[in-house]
Structure 1
Protein backbone atom coordinates (compact mmCIF):
# COMPACT_ATOMS: atom_id res chain seq x y z
CA UNK A 1 0.00 0.00 0.00
CA UNK A 2 2.91 2.34 0.61
CA UNK A 3 4.94 1.29 -2.42
CA UNK A 4 4.00 4.42 -4.31
CA UNK A 5 4.93 6.81 -1.51
CA UNK A 6 8.66 7.13 -2.30
CA UNK A 7 7.81 7.72 -5.96
CA UNK A 8 5.28 10.36 -5.00
CA UNK A 9 7.81 12.09 -2.76
CA UNK A 10 10.39 11.90 -5.52
CA UNK A 11 7.94 13.38 -8.02
CA UNK A 12 7.11 16.24 -5.66
CA UNK A 13 10.80 16.88 -5.01
CA UNK A 14 11.42 16.94 -8.76
CA UNK A 15 8.62 19.44 -9.27
CA UNK A 16 9.91 21.58 -6.43
CA UNK A 17 13.39 21.61 -7.93
CA UNK A 18 12.07 22.45 -11.40
CA UNK A 19 9.76 25.08 -9.94
CA UNK A 20 12.59 26.76 -8.04
CA UNK A 21 14.73 26.82 -11.17
CA UNK A 22 11.88 28.16 -13.29
CA UNK A 23 10.83 30.92 -10.90
CA UNK A 24 14.45 31.91 -10.27
CA UNK A 25 14.98 32.23 -14.03
CA UNK A 26 11.77 34.26 -14.37
CA UNK A 27 12.83 36.56 -11.54
CA UNK A 28 16.28 37.13 -13.06
CA UNK A 29 14.67 37.87 -16.44
CA UNK A 30 12.32 40.44 -14.91
CA UNK A 31 15.21 42.22 -13.20
CA UNK A 32 17.30 42.26 -16.37
CA UNK A 33 14.35 43.75 -18.25
CA UNK A 34 13.88 46.34 -15.50
CA UNK A 35 17.54 47.36 -15.68
CA UNK A 36 17.22 47.88 -19.44
CA UNK A 37 13.93 49.74 -19.00
CA UNK A 38 15.38 52.11 -16.42
CA UNK A 39 18.56 52.63 -18.46
CA UNK A 40 16.45 53.60 -21.49
CA UNK A 41 14.14 55.87 -19.45
CA UNK A 42 11.04 53.73 -19.87
CA UNK A 43 11.49 52.79 -23.54
CA UNK A 44 10.32 49.21 -22.90
CA UNK A 45 7.24 50.43 -21.05
CA UNK A 46 6.30 52.61 -24.01
CA UNK A 47 7.01 49.87 -26.54
CA UNK A 48 5.52 46.87 -24.77
CA UNK A 49 2.96 48.21 -22.27
CA UNK A 50 -0.77 47.95 -22.98
CA UNK A 51 -2.49 51.05 -24.36
CA UNK A 52 -6.18 50.38 -23.73
CA UNK A 53 -8.45 50.19 -26.77
CA UNK A 54 -5.56 50.80 -29.16
CA UNK A 55 -5.72 48.06 -31.80
CA UNK A 56 -2.00 48.39 -32.42
CA UNK A 57 -1.37 47.55 -28.76
CA UNK A 58 -3.12 44.17 -28.82
CA UNK A 59 0.21 42.27 -29.13
CA UNK A 60 1.33 44.05 -25.95
CA UNK A 61 -1.02 41.79 -24.01
CA UNK A 62 1.73 39.18 -24.41
CA UNK A 63 4.58 41.44 -23.25
CA UNK A 64 3.26 43.87 -20.64
CA UNK A 65 3.61 41.52 -17.60
CA UNK A 66 7.35 41.31 -18.28
CA UNK A 67 7.85 45.06 -17.92
CA UNK A 68 7.56 47.18 -14.77
CA UNK A 69 7.58 50.86 -13.84
CA UNK A 70 10.85 52.43 -14.94
CA UNK A 71 10.86 55.30 -12.43
CA UNK A 72 11.77 53.15 -9.40
CA UNK A 73 12.33 49.59 -8.23
CA UNK A 74 9.24 49.67 -6.00
CA UNK A 75 6.84 48.17 -8.54
CA UNK A 76 9.00 45.14 -9.36
CA UNK A 77 10.10 44.63 -5.75
CA UNK A 78 6.46 44.52 -4.63
CA UNK A 79 5.66 41.87 -7.23
CA UNK A 80 8.74 39.69 -6.79
CA UNK A 81 7.93 37.70 -3.64
CA UNK A 82 4.25 36.90 -4.34
CA UNK A 83 5.04 35.99 -7.95
CA UNK A 84 7.85 33.67 -6.85
CA UNK A 85 5.83 32.03 -4.06
CA UNK A 86 2.58 31.60 -5.99
CA UNK A 87 4.44 30.45 -9.10
CA UNK A 88 6.37 27.83 -7.16
CA UNK A 89 3.25 26.54 -5.42
CA UNK A 90 1.39 26.32 -8.72
CA UNK A 91 4.36 24.45 -10.25
CA UNK A 92 4.05 21.80 -7.53
CA UNK A 93 0.73 20.82 -9.12
CA UNK A 94 2.57 19.93 -12.32
CA UNK A 95 3.90 21.69 -15.40
CA UNK A 96 0.59 21.51 -17.28
CA UNK A 97 -1.36 23.07 -14.43
CA UNK A 98 1.30 25.74 -13.93
CA UNK A 99 1.38 26.71 -17.61
CA UNK A 100 -2.42 26.70 -17.88
CA UNK A 101 -2.84 28.91 -14.81
CA UNK A 102 -0.15 31.34 -15.96
CA UNK A 103 -1.44 31.49 -19.54
CA UNK A 104 -5.08 32.11 -18.63
CA UNK A 105 -4.17 34.65 -15.95
CA UNK A 106 -1.77 36.42 -18.33
CA UNK A 107 -4.19 36.63 -21.27
CA UNK A 108 -7.32 37.38 -19.23
CA UNK A 109 -5.55 40.16 -17.35
CA UNK A 110 -4.26 41.70 -20.57
CA UNK A 111 -7.62 41.53 -22.31
CA UNK A 112 -9.30 43.13 -19.31
CA UNK A 113 -6.80 45.98 -19.30
CA UNK A 114 -7.05 46.45 -23.07
CA UNK A 115 -10.84 46.62 -22.95
CA UNK A 116 -11.43 48.52 -19.73
CA UNK A 117 -8.10 50.01 -18.63
CA UNK A 118 -7.49 53.69 -18.02
CA UNK A 119 -10.26 56.22 -18.38
CA UNK A 120 -12.82 56.29 -21.16
CA UNK A 121 -12.33 60.05 -21.19
CA UNK A 122 -9.13 61.28 -22.76
CA UNK A 123 -6.04 59.28 -23.64
CA UNK A 124 -5.64 56.15 -21.47
CA UNK A 125 -2.31 55.47 -19.84
CA UNK A 126 0.07 52.57 -20.40
CA UNK A 127 -0.23 49.51 -18.16
CA UNK A 128 2.70 47.24 -17.31
CA UNK A 129 3.50 44.71 -14.59
CA UNK A 130 2.98 41.12 -13.51
CA UNK A 131 0.34 41.78 -10.86
CA UNK A 132 -2.45 40.37 -13.05
CA UNK A 133 -0.59 37.07 -13.27
CA UNK A 134 -0.02 37.16 -9.50
CA UNK A 135 -3.73 37.57 -8.86
CA UNK A 136 -4.44 34.74 -11.29
CA UNK A 137 -2.08 32.34 -9.54
CA UNK A 138 -3.55 33.39 -6.21
CA UNK A 139 -7.07 32.61 -7.44
CA UNK A 140 -5.94 29.32 -8.95
CA UNK A 141 -4.34 28.16 -5.70
CA UNK A 142 -7.33 29.21 -3.59
CA UNK A 143 -9.88 27.37 -5.72
CA UNK A 144 -7.82 24.30 -6.64
CA UNK A 145 -7.75 22.78 -3.15
CA UNK A 146 -11.53 22.72 -2.89
CA UNK A 147 -11.93 21.04 -6.27
CA UNK A 148 -9.28 18.44 -5.42
CA UNK A 149 -10.81 17.77 -1.98
CA UNK A 150 -7.29 17.71 -0.64
CA UNK A 151 -6.96 18.65 3.02
CA UNK A 152 -3.41 19.98 2.62
CA UNK A 153 -4.34 22.04 -0.42
CA UNK A 154 -7.35 23.45 1.43
CA UNK A 155 -5.05 24.25 4.37
CA UNK A 156 -2.63 25.92 1.95
CA UNK A 157 -5.51 27.95 0.49
CA UNK A 158 -6.50 29.05 4.00
CA UNK A 159 -2.91 30.08 4.79
CA UNK A 160 -2.65 31.97 1.50
CA UNK A 161 -5.92 33.73 2.18
CA UNK A 162 -4.82 34.69 5.70
CA UNK A 163 -1.44 35.92 4.47
CA UNK A 164 -2.42 37.53 1.18
CA UNK A 165 -6.21 37.87 1.34
CA UNK A 166 -5.89 41.63 1.59
CA UNK A 167 -4.61 41.69 -1.99
CA UNK A 168 -8.16 40.94 -3.09
CA UNK A 169 -8.89 44.59 -2.33
CA UNK A 170 -6.88 45.25 -5.45
CA UNK A 171 -9.78 44.12 -7.64
CA UNK A 172 -11.90 47.07 -6.47
CA UNK A 173 -12.25 50.18 -8.67
CA UNK A 174 -11.50 52.26 -5.56
CA UNK A 175 -7.94 50.94 -5.37
CA UNK A 176 -5.19 53.57 -5.33
CA UNK A 177 -4.35 55.74 -8.28
CA UNK A 178 -1.85 54.24 -10.69
CA UNK A 179 -2.87 50.66 -9.87
CA UNK A 180 -4.78 48.69 -12.48
CA UNK A 181 -7.71 47.04 -10.74
CA UNK A 182 -8.75 45.77 -14.16
CA UNK A 183 -5.53 43.73 -14.43
CA UNK A 184 -6.10 42.33 -10.95
CA UNK A 185 -9.77 41.46 -11.43
CA UNK A 186 -9.40 39.82 -14.82
CA UNK A 187 -6.19 38.05 -13.81
CA UNK A 188 -7.99 36.60 -10.79
CA UNK A 189 -10.83 35.47 -13.05
CA UNK A 190 -8.33 33.78 -15.37
CA UNK A 191 -6.81 31.86 -12.47
CA UNK A 192 -10.22 30.71 -11.23
CA UNK A 193 -11.13 29.58 -14.77
CA UNK A 194 -7.88 27.60 -14.89
CA UNK A 195 -8.76 25.86 -11.61
CA UNK A 196 -12.23 25.02 -12.95
CA UNK A 197 -10.82 23.68 -16.22
CA UNK A 198 -8.24 21.53 -14.44
CA UNK A 199 -10.52 20.20 -11.73
CA UNK A 200 -10.67 16.40 -11.31
CA UNK A 201 -13.40 14.90 -13.51
CA UNK A 202 -13.96 11.89 -11.34
CA UNK A 203 -12.24 9.60 -8.87
CA UNK A 204 -11.86 5.87 -9.14
CA UNK A 205 -12.02 3.65 -6.08
CA UNK A 206 -8.65 2.55 -4.77
Structure 2
Protein backbone atom coordinates (compact mmCIF):
# COMPACT_ATOMS: atom_id res chain seq x y z
CA UNK A 1 0.00 0.00 0.00
CA UNK A 2 2.79 2.42 0.90
CA UNK A 3 4.58 1.73 -2.39
CA UNK A 4 1.40 2.63 -4.27
CA UNK A 5 0.83 5.75 -2.15
CA UNK A 6 4.36 7.01 -2.72
CA UNK A 7 4.37 6.13 -6.44
CA UNK A 8 1.10 8.06 -6.86
CA UNK A 9 2.55 10.91 -4.77
CA UNK A 10 5.52 11.23 -7.14
CA UNK A 11 3.25 11.27 -10.21
CA UNK A 12 0.88 13.68 -8.47
CA UNK A 13 3.77 15.98 -7.51
CA UNK A 14 5.12 15.98 -11.07
CA UNK A 15 1.69 16.85 -12.47
CA UNK A 16 1.05 19.67 -10.00
CA UNK A 17 -1.37 17.47 -8.04
CA UNK A 18 -3.69 17.16 -11.03
CA UNK A 19 -4.69 13.64 -9.99
CA UNK A 20 -6.48 15.01 -6.93
CA UNK A 21 -8.99 16.88 -9.07
CA UNK A 22 -9.42 13.95 -11.43
CA UNK A 23 -9.56 11.04 -8.97
CA UNK A 24 -10.38 12.66 -5.61
CA UNK A 25 -13.68 11.94 -3.92
CA UNK A 26 -16.27 14.61 -4.71
CA UNK A 27 -19.42 14.11 -2.62
CA UNK A 28 -22.70 13.53 -4.43
CA UNK A 29 -21.04 13.76 -7.84
CA UNK A 30 -21.17 10.78 -10.19
CA UNK A 31 -17.71 11.74 -11.41
CA UNK A 32 -16.50 11.70 -7.82
CA UNK A 33 -17.59 8.13 -7.10
CA UNK A 34 -14.24 6.74 -8.27
CA UNK A 35 -12.72 8.77 -5.45
CA UNK A 36 -14.03 6.16 -3.03
CA UNK A 37 -11.34 3.82 -4.37
CA UNK A 38 -8.63 6.38 -5.14
CA UNK A 39 -8.91 8.71 -2.14
CA UNK A 40 -6.60 6.61 0.10
CA UNK A 41 -3.67 6.84 -2.35
CA UNK A 42 -4.00 10.56 -3.15
CA UNK A 43 -2.42 13.23 -0.96
CA UNK A 44 -2.16 17.01 -1.09
CA UNK A 45 1.58 17.28 -0.46
CA UNK A 46 4.71 15.38 0.45
CA UNK A 47 4.06 16.33 4.08
CA UNK A 48 0.53 14.96 3.90
CA UNK A 49 1.74 11.62 2.52
CA UNK A 50 4.56 11.49 5.08
CA UNK A 51 2.17 12.23 7.96
CA UNK A 52 0.03 9.25 6.95
CA UNK A 53 2.97 6.90 6.45
CA UNK A 54 3.83 6.16 10.10
CA UNK A 55 0.25 5.41 11.24
CA UNK A 56 -0.24 3.27 8.13
CA UNK A 57 2.83 1.24 9.05
CA UNK A 58 1.98 0.90 12.75
CA UNK A 59 -1.78 0.32 12.58
CA UNK A 60 -1.52 -1.69 9.36
CA UNK A 61 1.12 -3.95 10.92
CA UNK A 62 -0.96 -4.42 14.07
CA UNK A 63 -3.96 -5.32 11.95
CA UNK A 64 -1.96 -7.70 9.75
CA UNK A 65 -0.49 -9.48 12.77
CA UNK A 66 -3.58 -9.58 14.97
CA UNK A 67 -6.30 -10.17 12.37
CA UNK A 68 -4.57 -12.05 9.56
CA UNK A 69 -7.72 -13.77 8.30
CA UNK A 70 -9.72 -10.58 7.87
CA UNK A 71 -7.14 -7.85 7.19
CA UNK A 72 -7.95 -7.57 3.48
CA UNK A 73 -11.72 -7.85 3.92
CA UNK A 74 -11.68 -5.31 6.75
CA UNK A 75 -9.58 -2.88 4.70
CA UNK A 76 -11.85 -3.17 1.65
CA UNK A 77 -14.94 -2.69 3.85
CA UNK A 78 -13.38 0.36 5.51
CA UNK A 79 -12.40 2.00 2.21
CA UNK A 80 -15.77 1.17 0.61
CA UNK A 81 -18.13 2.00 3.47
CA UNK A 82 -16.10 4.94 4.75
CA UNK A 83 -15.78 6.38 1.26
CA UNK A 84 -19.48 5.88 0.58
CA UNK A 85 -20.30 7.75 3.80
CA UNK A 86 -18.11 10.67 2.71
CA UNK A 87 -19.60 10.58 -0.79
CA UNK A 88 -23.15 10.67 0.57
CA UNK A 89 -22.73 13.13 3.44
CA UNK A 90 -19.35 14.85 3.11
CA UNK A 91 -18.81 18.55 2.60
CA UNK A 92 -18.56 19.82 -0.97
CA UNK A 93 -14.78 19.60 -1.28
CA UNK A 94 -12.38 17.17 -2.90
CA UNK A 95 -11.56 14.57 -0.26
CA UNK A 96 -8.15 12.90 -0.47
CA UNK A 97 -5.76 11.01 1.78
CA UNK A 98 -5.30 7.72 3.59
CA UNK A 99 -6.57 9.03 6.92
CA UNK A 100 -10.01 7.47 6.38
CA UNK A 101 -8.30 4.07 6.13
CA UNK A 102 -6.09 4.89 9.13
CA UNK A 103 -9.11 5.87 11.24
CA UNK A 104 -10.89 2.76 9.99
CA UNK A 105 -8.05 0.52 11.14
CA UNK A 106 -8.03 2.45 14.43
CA UNK A 107 -11.78 1.87 14.89
CA UNK A 108 -11.47 -1.79 13.90
CA UNK A 109 -8.60 -2.46 16.32
CA UNK A 110 -10.39 -0.67 19.17
CA UNK A 111 -13.70 -2.43 18.60
CA UNK A 112 -12.37 -5.89 17.82
CA UNK A 113 -11.15 -6.62 21.34
CA UNK A 114 -14.47 -5.57 22.81
CA UNK A 115 -16.56 -7.41 20.23
CA UNK A 116 -14.59 -10.67 20.32
CA UNK A 117 -13.95 -10.76 24.08
CA UNK A 118 -10.68 -12.67 23.60
CA UNK A 119 -7.40 -11.87 25.32
CA UNK A 120 -5.13 -11.20 22.30
CA UNK A 121 -7.50 -8.79 20.49
CA UNK A 122 -8.33 -7.15 23.82
CA UNK A 123 -4.62 -6.56 24.48
CA UNK A 124 -4.30 -4.95 21.03
CA UNK A 125 -7.35 -2.78 21.82
CA UNK A 126 -5.76 -1.57 25.06
CA UNK A 127 -2.41 -0.91 23.35
CA UNK A 128 -4.03 1.03 20.50
CA UNK A 129 -6.17 3.02 22.94
CA UNK A 130 -3.11 3.96 24.99
CA UNK A 131 -0.89 4.81 22.01
CA UNK A 132 -3.44 6.39 19.67
CA UNK A 133 -6.44 7.21 21.87
CA UNK A 134 -6.17 10.94 21.18
CA UNK A 135 -7.00 10.19 17.53
CA UNK A 136 -10.63 9.96 18.55
CA UNK A 137 -10.81 13.77 18.51
CA UNK A 138 -10.03 13.69 14.77
CA UNK A 139 -13.56 12.48 14.04
CA UNK A 140 -14.92 15.86 15.06
CA UNK A 141 -15.03 18.95 12.84
CA UNK A 142 -12.58 21.68 13.65
CA UNK A 143 -9.40 21.77 11.63
CA UNK A 144 -9.69 23.69 8.37
CA UNK A 145 -8.65 21.73 5.29
CA UNK A 146 -8.93 18.35 7.08
CA UNK A 147 -11.68 15.95 6.07
CA UNK A 148 -13.09 15.08 9.47
CA UNK A 149 -15.80 13.26 7.51
CA UNK A 150 -13.19 10.81 6.20
CA UNK A 151 -12.00 10.27 9.75
CA UNK A 152 -15.53 9.82 11.10
CA UNK A 153 -16.85 7.52 8.38
CA UNK A 154 -13.57 5.56 8.29
CA UNK A 155 -13.72 4.95 12.05
CA UNK A 156 -17.41 4.02 11.86
CA UNK A 157 -16.70 1.60 9.00
CA UNK A 158 -13.89 0.06 11.06
CA UNK A 159 -16.20 -0.51 14.03
CA UNK A 160 -18.82 -2.07 11.73
CA UNK A 161 -16.15 -4.28 10.14
CA UNK A 162 -15.03 -5.47 13.59
CA UNK A 163 -18.60 -6.40 14.41
CA UNK A 164 -19.39 -8.18 11.13
CA UNK A 165 -15.98 -9.88 10.75
CA UNK A 166 -15.72 -11.10 14.33
CA UNK A 167 -14.37 -14.57 14.93
CA UNK A 168 -16.76 -16.85 16.67
CA UNK A 169 -15.55 -17.80 20.13
CA UNK A 170 -15.76 -21.58 20.45
CA UNK A 171 -16.38 -21.32 24.23
CA UNK A 172 -19.72 -19.49 23.74
- TM-score bucket of the superposed structures, by smaller chain: over 0.9
The Cα RMSD (Å) is 1.6
Gaps of 5+ in 1: 1-25, 119-123
The answer to whether the aligner puts 1:111 opposite 2:78 as a matched pair is no
1:13-52 residue CA offsets vs partner (Å, 9 max, x unmatched): xxxxxxxxxxxxx212211110110110011111110111
Runs of 4+ in 1 over 6 A off after TM superposition: none
1:46-69 residue CA offsets vs partner (Å, 9 max, x unmatched): 111011111221122111111111
The answer to whether the aligner puts 1:32 opposite 2:4 as a matched pair is no
Name the counterpart of 1:20. none
Displacement of 1:150 after TM fit? 2.5
Gaps of 5+ in 2: none
Q: TM-score, normalised by structure 1?
A: 0.78
Give the count of matched residue pairs. Answer: 172
Say which of 75, 85, 88 aligns to 2:48: 75
CA contact (8 A) 1:147 1:200 kept: no
CA contact (8 A) 2:43 2:96 kept: yes
Name the counterpart of 1:138. 106
Name the counterpart of 1:201. 168
Change (3 A) 1:151 1:204: closer
CA contact (8 A) 2:25 2:33 kept: yes
- In the alignment, the residues of structure 2 paired with residue 151 and residue 94 of structure 1 have an alpha-carbon distance, to the nearest angstrom, of 13
| Larger gyration radius, structure 1 or structure 2 | 1
Q: TM-score, normalised by structure 2?
A: 0.92
The answer to whether the aligner puts 1:167 opposite 2:135 as a matched pair is yes
Displacement of 1:85 after TM fit? 1.3
Displacement of 1:201 after TM fit? 3.0
CA contact (8 A) 2:66 2:121 kept: no
Displacement of 1:204 after TM fit? 4.6
- In the alignment, the residues of structure 1 paired with residue 67 and residue 119 of structure 2 have an alpha-carbon distance, to the nearest angstrom, of 18
